[in-house]
A and B are shown apart, each in its own frame.
Chain A
């Protein structure tokens, strides 16, 4: 098993001295909330949406997808996640929680899979594992064992004073509850009894990607709006490089996340209000994996450019 140089435990130890010193709180946060709310209230009022469709839901993933390409975002809706992707993600998430909770030796893959089955029994990846032959399971183990071991090594060393909240859902309502922004962090860590100690942790079973940074910014914004003060940091754990990415929550981070949230919400409000209007297409690297790439004119532009 590999031994991680930087662990979640060491990151939290470094952050310990900053507890209680949130960069943003009080009136600054309320001003931020008001500014977003004003823009989104105006957008919702102007759209003329059927009240039965409220609240317009703006989950984290949809912010990323509609800003990349609204057309692909609609084409992807309801699509199935490949079971192996689902299983890798679930193993990484559960292994991270187990490691952060337990100071003892890391658990074996089968124990991690028991954990996945216990909290997400209908996960398509777990169903695939259960239905696999002995040979197929051996192939899956070659993929999953190093993943579970690596995530557990990176997420180790967390002091018992930190409480781990797995799969924590955060939400913020705008426009009088007619629009709901949501995100689910893989882990929210804090020290009860020590206010303003929140650290958001995201676990990725793969390489870090530019979208992950934008996701981290949105987590910072929603956590700030939820509690009234900014979290100490957003930490992204990845099995690629770098294994640990620490994002300090600055004014620029919150401003950037606000802009993206408002922009994505405007697109979604328009799409909900005008369901028959074809959504805009935006060519980009995502065209390679778009289910409409064979017939979409923008996709051909992107492929030609590449």
Chain B
């Protein structure tokens, strides 16, 4: 360790980053901060104290809630939870598992073959009455399966293209952890779970000295990329107890990559996002509702929001003329 702190060196650009904590120290700092600051949120409700929660009763802080919160906080408080699988939701599920198969050495060559064999195995292994994604997939007609396979293969192709054809070619891409403890931080008492979403990783991990490990994340909401990186870098650190060296957002639409070091300042920003998201998620449960939260009306967001009928932001937006990218429609001829 240098007199000023631990030195991290980016394997892509040789950038040197100095952190005052080692990856493990940063992990411990994050976990302690989370336990302390989230305690009143994680364990206390209007009705009293949470007990040990069952899996389905846990408050889950994850990417979807975060991007919803960044768009409109009120929508998080109106969340009714998971409402079943569809093609859009199943795309990443199939894609991440297909990426595992593609990057593994089990003889599958090509992205398309990896997706097809993953889908075929999932369907073959599905229990007849499964309520999970495998059961849903088994029931889908061939047209829907073909579209899901195309979307998933495209997701994998976009990640590979940006990593390999772009600036991140320094070291081989590795598959991400898919589910389970490596991706999740359970708050003591298990009422609260913070989940990381890693789509790939590369580089050498080191717990004590400089770590070159880089987590990759596909981001489709470029306006929120900084907050997403803060949240996901923090969630991954909480889950494993060791901070990665870097986290990078891959933006398939523009072909850009945003790569940042995981340091104390990022962890603190990420924990504040966790704190706010936890508070909003619990409002949906404990009856506090959407008082004193930020609201933003939008065409797509309000369409699926249970509060839209009475939301002041939505009602105010309805009174204004429609605007399309800063443009107002011209009146047309009657009839």
Contact = CB atoms under 8 A, between A and B. Distances in A.
B255 A118 contact: no
A228 to B, nearest CB: 7
Given A74-B328, A77-B327, A272-B327, A188 B143 contact: no
A166 B150 contact: yes
Given A119-B151, A169-B253, 14 more contacts: A59-B325, A77-B324, A77-B330, A101-B112, A101-B150, A102-B146, A111-B142, A118-B148, A164-B153, A165-B158, A170-B253, A171-B254, A279-B330, A295-B333
Contacts of A107: 142-143, 146
Interface in A86-113: 94, 97-98, 100-102, 107, 111-113
Contacts of B328: 74, 77, 275
Interface of B: 86-88, 110-113, 140-144, 146-151, 153-154, 156-158, 160-161, 164-165, 253-255, 322, 324-333
Interface residues of A, number: 60
Contacts of A56: 325-326
A127 interface: no
Interface string A131-165: 00000000000000000000000000000111111
Interface in A210-259: 226-228
Contact of B332 (A94, A111, A292): A292
A103 to B, nearest CB: 11
A293 interface: yes
B330 A292 contact: yes
B332 to A, nearest CB: 4
Contacts of A94: 143, 147
A102 to B, nearest CB: 5
A53 B333 contact: no
B147 A98 contact: yes
A161 B112 contact: yes
Q: Find the residue from A49, A102, A107 having the highest chain B CB count within 10 A.
A: A102
A114 interface: yes
Contact of A192 (B111, B141, B144, B333): B111
B332 A75 contact: yes
A192 B329 contact: no
Contacts of A75: 329-332
Contacts of B333: 291-295
A168 B154 contact: yes
Given A56-B326, A74-B327, A114 B87 contact: no
Given A118-B87, A161-B112, A195 B164 contact: yes
15 contacts: A74-B328, A97-B150, A101-B149, A111-B143, A115-B141, A118-B87, A163-B111, A163-B154, A163-B157, A165-B153, A166-B147, A182-B253, A279-B330, A291-B333, A294-B333
Given A98-B146, A163-B157, A226 B255 contact: yes
A227 B166 CA distance: 8
Interface string A271-306: 110010001000000000001111100000000000
A114 B333 CA distance: 38
A300 B300 CA distance: 38
Contacts of B254: 170-173, 226
Nearest to B154: A165
A192 B152 CA distance: 13
Contact of A228 (B86, B113, B158, B255): B255
A115 B144 contact: yes
A229 to B, nearest CB: 8
Top 6 closest A-B pairs, CB basis? A165-B154, A115-B143, A57-B325, A291-B332, A77-B329, A111-B143
Nearest to B332: A291
A100 B153 CA distance: 13
Contacts of A275: 326-328
A75 B324 CA distance: 12
Contacts of B324: 77-78
Contacts of B255: 226-228
Contact of B150 (A160, A165, A291): A165
A142 B141 CA distance: 22
A201 interface: no
A71 interface: yes
A190 interface: yes
Contacts of B158: 165
A163 B330 contact: no
Contact of A74 (B146, B151, B164, B329): B329
